[in-house]
Amino acid sequence: MIAPHTPEKTFLVRIQRQDGESQPAYWQEFEVPVKPAQNIISVLQYIAANPVTTSGEQVEPVVWDSGCLEEVCGACTMVVDGQVRQSCSCLANEQLAKTGKDHIELTPMTKFPVVRDLFVDRQRMFDNLKKIKGWVPIDGTHDLGPGPTETPEQQEERYAYSRCMTCGCCLEACPQFTKDNEFIGAQAIAQALYFNQHETGKKLKSERLDELSGPGGVADCGNAQNCVKVCPKEIPLTQAIAKVGRQLTVHAVKSFFSSK
């Protein structure tokens, strides 16, 4: 006896596409078979291999960005059903169960220029790391013997900030961070704290605080706290902003009296 054919289960994926920052956005819908342990990246890979819409139109493969596929590189950030997140760690079956819908909707981040489709240009984030001198100055220190030590408590606190992968989730969720303003955002502020707490990195502390005290710095934060809610690494971003704010107060007082 021949077993009856069981139709393959599928779900729909609606994707907002765009051929460039100055081009109009448009929507396309694709049907994707259900697979076990299927994340959004594997969904996009299926669509790339089978770029045919639900209306039967053969289209150009969808463009997106990804790297490590294990929530380390930060490249695959996009908006899934209205919430910014890492698409590599978003499982399709869990997302469908969460929303109760028969489709998943993918859109690019709105706070960065669209290169194409779901791929955006996050260069501003890396430029902001340059602004706050997000590095440890080690030139000339190679022959000074062992570096300074840290207590386990200091290590634990700084490790939390070291997990940042420059993914952009915090900035996408932030109402103060927009394409046309100077606000540096939670990511860069937290990294400034990370390096200010480093015994060698704090040599640049004053320069970092000078940068964060100006336009686009800590004072521009509206304390919406959206950033900490969407961070995939659960970095205490609002705590970092508060600590840098206190550092800025001390820095301002010292600068005032040293200029007398």
- Alpha-carbon span 25 to 16, nearest angstrom: 7
Residue 8 pLDDT: 82
Nearest Cα residue to 184 out of 143, 244, 253, 106: 244
Identify the segments of the chain with pLDDT beneath 70. 1-7, 141, 260
| Res 6: pLDDT | 59
For 152-187, the pLDDT digits (tens) are 999 999 999 999 999 999 999 999 999 999 999 999
> How far is it, in rounded angstroms, from Cα 179 to Cα 175?
11
221-248 pLDDT, tens per residue? Answer: 999 999 999 999 999 999 999 999 999 9
Q: What is the CA radius of gyration of the chain?
A: 22
User: What pLDDT, on the 0 to 100 scale, is given for residue 5?
Assistant: 54
pLDDT of amino acid 2: 59
The residues with which 32 forms a beta bridge, in sequence order, are: 11
Contact 108, 76 (CB under 8 A): no
Report the distance separating Cα 22 and Cα 24, nearest Å. 7
pLDDT of res. 3:
53
In order of their start, the domains of the chain are: 10-120 (3.10.20.30), 123-258 (1.10.1060.10)
- pTM score of the predicted model: 0.91
Within 10 angstroms of residue 26's Cβ, the number of other Cβ atoms is 10
Q: State the DSSP code for 39.
A: B
